[in-house]
Amino acid sequence: PLLLTTGRILSQYNVGAQTRRTENTVWHGEDRLEIHPHDAEQRGVCDGDFVRLSSRSGETTLRALITERVAPGVVYTTFHHPGTQANVVTTDNSDWATNCPEYKVTAVQVMPSNGPSAWQEDYAGRSDKARRILPAAE
């Protein structure tokens, strides 16, 4: 297995409930799975391919971003776009001292996929209609 860590990026705030409705999506239009070139090659994954990300807790589909920003054995994704369901693969376990969920240490499998799941395609169609904030009246 690989070690999944999740996090945020500057142009989006947490799950993006507010920032996804702005033009910030120009900088971050989707959550991508960052994977080291060595790990991608072992799994037959090319940059931009859809991959299935699965753990004991759940699974989702993301596009791969092959990069050396992550170490071999580690994959990374953000969780700003609900349609990717990135957090469904993390566990319900939490740190004993802070009760913070284990978003940084989830064992996962990564394998090629034919595309987004049926749920993701349905969600994309529904959410695009409600995503944009209407421009101010003049």
Residue with tokens 């369901």: 85
> Residue-wise pLDDT tens for the chain (138 aa)?
999 988 766 545 554 545 555 555 555 567 889 999 999 999 999 999 999 999 998 899 999 999 999 999 999 998 766 777 777 788 778 778 888 777 677 899 999 999 888 777 777 666 666 555 555 555
| Bridging pattern class, strands 50-54 and 32-35 | unpaired
Rounded to whole angstroms, the maximal C-alpha distance in the chain is 56
What's the pTM? 0.74
Task: Give whole-number Cα distances, 94 to 14, 56, 91, 102, 106, in Å.
Answer: 18, 16, 8, 5, 12
Domains of the chain: 2-130 (2.40.40.20)
Task: Give whole-number Cα distances, 5 to 33, 35, 56, 105, 124, in Å.
Answer: 10, 11, 15, 6, 24
